[in-house]
Amino acid sequence: MVQQSIIPVILITGFLGAGKTTFINQLIHDHPNQRISLILNEFGDIKLESQFVEAKGIGMVSELSSGCLCCVANVDLPRVIRYTLDKAPSTEYLIIEASGLSDPDPVRSTLQSPDLTNLIRLDTVVVIVDALNFETTSSSHPLVMSQIAEADLSFLSKSESLTQNQVDGLIERVSSIGMGTRTLVWDKNLDTSIVFDPHLPKDTVSPTQHSHASYKTHFFTSDQNLDIKDIHKSLTQLPDSILRIKGYLYSNEQYYLVQKVGHHVDIRLAPSPDQVPTPKVAILVIGTDLDTEAINTAFS
């Protein structure tokens, strides 16, 4: 391995749909002179997360696709880190995006393990907190609280429709969850360079028992020429047990990125890839109760 210096690591966490990828895109845009490499946590072999990252100017983008990051951190994460730094030895910062279902505790433990101290230094754990849906998600999914508790910095996303009193109350609430967690509003005034300032890492603790048993995932794939209007209609009619949808659709020589968080559906035209993706349609569905046959029928 050519790389010699110790590379600072920024771990980006947050629950499903909080805005982790959007934040990474802003970070890359705001700091074009930083030599950044990325490790993205995919749920399966189909590369979805990298479709949403604006990777222009990035040193290296690696995908960790063998499972949720916290479940494979001890085995696969060190391997992917070594591979990434070997392929991009000029990397100045390594950003790791955990999946929305990842508990950062075992990930932090791995990143601070003696096996990696000659390569990396965990500088900052950032959690993106969905301000608009915080009360609902935190009460239904204790993982949200764990993600905040492990963070050095928490950024409140989607706060535009809240009153100042609501925002102030949420800042106080979120800041009290973690020991020394600093909470800021992520808006146009946020100086994202704060994530590059070194932070004293929290003490390494033994990983806690973490289970994804209450969450289900399903990949819908197709090589059919599906209609974008039909997909949009299907997305709006799915049950509330579905928490997150993310994927792409290639139809009539047009390439679309597809997302849904709660009741908000976002389908946007994206630059066409260099070659037709395989499969033409790939949509990841995450929820607490998935009727896979009904989902396949809705999208077909």
**End-to-end Cα spacing for the chain:** 47
- The whole-number pLDDT of residue 200 equals 44
Q: How far apart are CA 206 and CA 223, in angstroms?
A: 45
What is the residue range of 242's domain? 216-299
169 and 64 part of one domain:
yes
Number of structural domains in the chain: 2
Distance between CA atoms of 266 and 271, rounded to whole angstroms? Answer: 16
Same domain membership, residue 160 and residue 22: yes
Same domain, 119 and 255: no
Q: Among 168, 196, 224, give the residue marking a domain's end.
A: 196
Q: Residue 74 above 60 pLDDT?
A: no
Confidence grade of residue 58 (pLDDT, cut at 50, 70, 90): low
Determine which helix (DSSP H) or strand (DSSP E) holds 190, and give its type and residue range: none
User: Per residue in 230-252, pLDDT tens?
Assistant: 888 888 888 878 877 888 888 88
- Quote the percentage of the chain above a pLDDT of 70: 81
pLDDT at 68: 45
Q: Average pLDDT, stretch 251-258?
A: 85
Tokens 């494979």, residue? Answer: 72
Which single residue is written with the structure tokens 């990143």?
111
Q: Indicate whether 227 belongs to any domain.
A: yes
Query: What pLDDT was estimated at residue 168?
Result: 94
Q: Is residue 288 part of a domain?
A: yes
Least confident segment among 121-125, 234-238, 270-274, 275-279: 270-274
Mean of the per-residue pLDDT values of the chain: 81
- Return d(Cα 153, Cα 194) in angstroms, integer: 9
Give the CATH number of the domain where residue 172 resides.
3.40.50.300
CATH of the domain at 229: 3.30.1220.10
Gyration radius of the chain's alpha carbons: 19
Q: Are both 174 and 245 inside the same structural domain? A: no
Q: Is position 185 within any domain? A: yes
137's tokens: 């998600």
In a domain, 153, yes or no: yes
pLDDT band at 1; cut points 50, 70, 90: very low
According to the model, what pLDDT value does residue 113 have? 87
For residue 202, pLDDT over 50 is answered with: no
Distance CA 281, CA 248 (A): 6
| Residue 233: partners with Cβ closer than 8 Å, 6 or more residues away | none
Q: Per residue in 93-141, pLDDT tens?
A: 999 998 888 888 888 888 888 889 899 999 899 999 999 999 989 988 8
Highest mean pLDDT among 148-152, 166-170, 203-207, 252-256: 166-170
Which residue pairs, CB below 8 angstroms and at least 24 apart, start in 171-178? 174/129, 174/134, 174/148, 177/145, 177/148, 177/149, 178/148, 178/149, 178/150, 178/151, 178/154
